[in-house]
């Protein structure tokens, strides 16, 4: 959406906080950096997200929020397999690639992927990977909230983590 479009919407339905104020606030809510992937009838795709959240351990479930305008959306809409790969310092460049404009077909060009139980791409040497199947979807404004039941967890306790805070990466020691 363009800036102009933003302003027109804001004029039509005045919000109590502007999008800019919300985004600036959210930049100060630290989040893990995750490369979220899928594969299946809709093809292979992936994007970088901080909007990932644990929901419940019974049944083990997390959620991911995805902008419906995202180039990854058609694949995530058609597929049931999702993998959340939480990454640390060693995958900072890869996280930038999956968060940028690189064509979907090129994002997986680097080695270091294998197929999880769900069928989604699992990243080697991630801090932790949650291999999942979609259990529920909920539309909310511009985004789809994808609830995912976890069918596999792979973790490397020796890998340092990362947080995105104040629009910067921060390394987190183990």
For the chain, state the CA radius of gyration: 16
Among 60, 74, 89, 99, binds a second copy (CB under 8 A): 60
Q: How far apart are CA 122 and CA 129, in angstroms?
A: 7
Among 53, 78, 96, 109, which residue interacts with a second copy (rule: CB under 8 A)? 53
Q: Is residue 115 close enough to count as binding a second copy by CB under 8 A?
A: no
Give the three-class secondary structure for 7: helix
57 binds a second copy (CB under 8 A): yes
* Joined tokens for residue 29: 């809510």
51 binds a second copy (CB under 8 A): yes
Q: Judging by DSSP bridges, how do beta strands 113-115 and 52-57 pair with one another?
A: unpaired
State which of residues 95, 127, 134, 146 lies at the interface with a second copy (CB under 8 A): 127
Contacting residue, 2, 41, 58, 103, with a second copy by CB under 8 A: 58
Tell whether residue 142 is a contact of a second copy (CB under 8 A): yes
Give the C-alpha separation, 118 to 20, whole Å: 37
CA distance 128 to 91: 12
Among 17, 78, 96, 109, binds a second copy (CB under 8 A): 17
In angstroms, the first-to-last Cα distance of the chain is 39
Within 10 A of 84 (CB to CB), how many other CB atoms are there?
A: 25
In the bound complex, what is the minimum distance in angstroms from residue 112's beta carbon to a second copy?
18
Q: Which residues pair with 156 in a beta bridge?
A: none
Using CB under 8 A, list all residues that contact a second copy: 9, 15-17, 19, 21-26, 28-32, 34, 50-63, 65, 67, 86, 117, 127-128, 130, 136, 138, 140-143, 145, 147, 150-153, 155, 157, 161-163, 165-166, 170, 172-174
């Amino acid at each position: 959406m363009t800036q102009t479009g933003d302003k027109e919407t804001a004029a039509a339905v005045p919000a109590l906080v502007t999008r800019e104020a919300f985004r600036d606030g959210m930049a100060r809510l630290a989040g893990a950096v995750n490369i979220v992937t899928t594969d299946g009838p809709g093809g292979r795709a992936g994007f970088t997200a901080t909007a990932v959240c644990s929901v419940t351990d019974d049944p083990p479930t997390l959620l991911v929020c995805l902008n419906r305008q995202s180039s990854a959306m058609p694949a995530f809409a058609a597929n049931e397999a999702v993998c959340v790969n939480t990454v640390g310092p060693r995958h900072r460049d890869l996280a930038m690639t999956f968060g940028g404009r690189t064509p979907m077909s090129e994002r997986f060009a680097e080695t270091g992927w294998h197929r999880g139980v769900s069928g989604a791409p699992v990243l080697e040497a991630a801090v932790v990977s949650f291999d999942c199947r979609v259990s529920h979807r909920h539309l909310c404004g511009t985004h789809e909230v994808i609830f995912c039941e976890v069918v596999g967890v792979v973790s490397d306790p020796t890998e340092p983590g990362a947080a995105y805070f104040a629009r910067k990466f921060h390394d987190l020691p183990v």
